C-alpha cells in the first residue's frame, strides 16, 4: 500500500466513521500531515474535550489517548499503535505515589500529564509543559509534590521561588540523551543560532538555552523570531512544522539521538488500520476516570 492510497483511504474512512485525527508534534511528518489537529499535549487535551466527532484517533502515546478518553467518555477513542507508551509515565505507579503522599500530607499533588490515568486519579491537579508554572503558581499550598518529571519540576522551581517543590525522580529517556558535549558542539558549529529546549531536558542543558517551552511554544518561538538559525533541544518531530512554517530558516537538532521510539511507532498504515478496523480502543475504568477527570478539568480551568 503506497502513501497516496493510504492518505486517500484515511480521508474516506475519516468521513465514514465520523472521526477526528489528533496528532502530537512528535509524530512522523506524514502522520502530522493527515491529522485534523496537530499540537502539544495541552492543545490536544482541549481538542479531545471539545470535538463533536464520534471517534477520536489519537496519534501519540498511551497516556495522551487515555486523557482523551477521560475527557470525552462518550467518544470512541482509538490509538493506532497499541504499544506506544511513555517510559516517563511508567516511572511512577499509583501505589508509589500513595506512599509518597503519606510522607508529605500537607503537600498538593501535581502530576504532569505524562502519567497514567491511575496516577492522575490520586493527584490533585494535572499540568502539561506549557502550563506547569501557572498550575503551581495557582496552588494554595506552599508545598508541592510534583510527579513524575524531575527536570520539569526543577524548571518550575526556578520560576516559582515561593513554593517548595518536591520532585519524583523520573525523566524522559529521549531528552536525557542530550549531553553537555552536544551543546558545546552545536553552539560552536552554529554560534549565531538561538537554542530552544523543552523543560524535560536536564538543568545543565536548560541553563544554556535561550528559550524553554512546550513543543508548540518552541515551534511558535522559531516562527515569530527574527533569528535565522535555531538549535532544537527536543524530539525531532517538531522540525516538520518548523520547516514548513519557515523554510528560509535553519534548524539543527541538538542531538541525533532525539528520536522517541514510542512516538515513531505510529505509521500511516497504522492510522489506516485503526480507522478500518476500529482498533485499538482505549478504555479507562469509570471509577478511575471520574477521579482523573477532576485532575484534568482543574488543569483546564486554570488556563
Ligand atoms: P508537550 O506538551 O510540550 O507537547 O510535551 C509532550 C511530551 O511528552 C514531551 O516529551
| Mean pLDDT in residue range 265-292 | 98
Cα 116 to chain centroid, rounded: 13
Give the distance (Å) from ligand 1 centre to CA of residue 5: 31
Residues 93 and 112 in one domain: yes
Q: Is residue 258 part of a domain?
A: no
pLDDT, tens digit (0-9, with 9 covering 90-100), for 4-23: 999 999 999 999 999 999 99
Note the pLDDT tens digit of each residue in 171-230: 999 999 999 999 999 999 999 999 999 999 999 999 999 999 999 999 999 999 999 999
Q: Looking at the structure, do residues 212 and 230 belong to the same domain, yes or no?
A: yes
- The reply to whether 166 and 219 lie within a common domain is no
Residue range 278-286: mean pLDDT, rounded: 98
Does residue 132 share a domain with residue 67?
A: no
- Whole domain around residue 197: which residue ranges? 175-253
Task: Tell which of 171, 199, 223 closes a domain.
Answer: 171
b/e burial code for range 104-139 (CB count within 10 A of at least 16 → b): eeebbbbbbbbbbbbbbbbbbbbbbbbbbbebbebb
Q: Report the mean per-residue pLDDT for the chain.
A: 97
Q: How far is the CA of 7 from the centre of ligand 1 (A)?
A: 26
Residue nearest (by alpha carbon) to ligand 1 atom 2:
41
Ligand 1 site residues, Cβ closer than 6 angstroms: 25, 40-42, 114, 128-130, 172, 198, 200, 214-215
Same domain for 107 and 179, yes or no, is no
The answer, yes or no, to whether residue 303 has pLDDT greater than 80, is: no
Distance 1 CA to ligand 1 centre (A): 31
Atom of ligand 1 nearest to the CA of 41: 2
User: Has residue 299 been placed in a domain?
Assistant: no
Asked if the structure places residue 294 within a domain, the reply is no
Q: Which of 3, 61, 91 is nearest to 22 (CA)?
A: 61
pLDDT in tens, 165-179: 999 999 999 999 999
Do 188 and 246 share a domain, yes or no?
yes
Q: Does a structural domain hold residue 291?
A: no
- Is residue 112 domain-resident? yes
Annotation: binding site for [4Fe-4S] cluster: 86, 172, 260
User: What pLDDT is recorded for position 16?
Assistant: 98
- For residue 289, tell me if it sits in a domain: no
Distance CA 44, CA 107 (A): 29
Last residue in a domain, options 171, 203, 227: 171
Nearest atom (ligand 1) to Cα of 174: 10
pLDDT band at 1 (very low <50, low <70, confident <90, very high): confident
Give pLDDT, residue 15: 98
Nearest CA to ligand 1 atom 3: 214
Say yes or no to pLDDT of 294 above 80.
Answer: yes
Last residue of a domain, one of 171, 198, 233: 171
Query: Which parts are annotated binding residues for iminosuccinate?
Result: 24, 41, 112-114, 129, 198-200, 215
| pLDDT mean over 61-66 | 98
Rounded to an integer, the average pLDDT of 143-150 is 98
Residue burial 221-250, b: 16+ Cβ < 10 Å; e: rest: bbeebebeebbbbbbbbbbbbbeeebeebe
* Nearest protein CA to atom 8 of ligand 1, as residue: 114
Count of structural domains within the chain: 3
Residue 139: pLDDT over 90: yes
- Which of 22, 23, 32, 40 to mutate to test ligand 1, by most ligand atoms within 8 A of the CB atom? 40
Nearest protein Cα to ligand 1, atom 6: 41
Residue 175 CA: nearest ligand 1 atom is 10
Q: What is the CATH number of the domain that holds 214?
A: 3.40.50.10800
Residue 300 lies in a domain: no
Give the pTM.
0.97
9 and 80 share one domain: yes
Annotated binding site: 24, 41, 86, 112-114, 129, 172, 198-200, 215, 260
Amino acid at each position: 500500500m503506497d502513501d497516496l492510497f493510504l492518505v486517500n483511504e484515511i480521508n474516506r474512512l475519516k468521513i465514514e466513521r465520523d472521526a477526528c485525527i489528533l496528532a502530537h508534534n512528535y509524530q512522523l511528518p506524514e502522520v502530522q500531515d493527515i491529522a485534523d489537529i496537530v499540537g502539544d499535549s495541552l492543545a490536544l487535551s482541549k481538542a479531545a474535550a471539545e470535538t463533536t466527532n464520534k471517534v477520536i484517533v489519537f496519534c501519540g502515546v498511551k497516556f495522551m489517548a487515555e486523557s482523551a478518553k477521560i475527557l470525552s467518555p462518550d467518544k470512541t477513542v482509538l490509538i493506532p499503535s497499541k504499544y506506544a507508551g511513555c517510559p516517563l509515565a511508567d516511572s511512577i505507579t499509583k501505589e508509589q505515589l500513595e506512599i509518597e503522599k503519606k510522607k508529605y500530607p500537607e503537600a498538593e499533588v501535581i502530576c504532569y500529564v505524562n502519567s497514567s490515568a491511575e496516577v492522575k486519579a490520586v493527584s490533585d491537579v494535572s499540568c502539561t509543559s506549557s502550563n506547569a508554572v501557572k498550575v503551581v503558581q495557582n496552588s494554595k499550598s506552599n508545598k508541592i509534590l510534583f510527579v513524575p518529571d524531575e527536570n520539569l519540576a526543577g524548571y518550575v522551581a526556578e520560576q516559582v521561588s515561593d513554593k517548595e517543590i518536591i520532585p519524583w525522580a523520573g525523566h524522559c529517556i529521549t531528552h536525557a540523551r542530550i549531553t553537555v558535549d552536544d551543546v558545546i558542539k552545536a553552539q560552536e558549529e552554529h554560534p549565531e543560532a538561538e537554542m530552544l529546549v523543552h523543560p524535560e531536558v536536564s538543568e545543565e542543558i536548560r541553563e544554556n538555552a535561550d528559550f524553554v517551552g512546550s513543543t508548540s511554544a518552541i515551534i511558535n518561538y522559531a516562527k515569530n523570531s527574527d533569528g535565522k538559525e535555531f538549535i532544537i533541544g527536543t524530539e525531532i518531530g517538531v522540525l516538520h512544522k518548523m520547516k514548513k512554517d519557515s523554510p528560509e530558516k535553519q534548524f539543527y537538532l541538538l542531538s541525533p539521538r532525539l528520536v522517541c521510539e514510542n512516538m515513531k511507532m505510529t505509521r500511516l498504515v497504522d492510522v489506516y488500520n485503526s480507522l478500518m478496523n476500529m482498533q485499538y480502543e482505549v478504555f479507562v475504568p469509570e471509577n478511575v476516570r471520574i477521579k482523573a477527570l477532576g485532575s484534568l478539568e482543574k488543569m483546564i480551568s486554570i488556563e
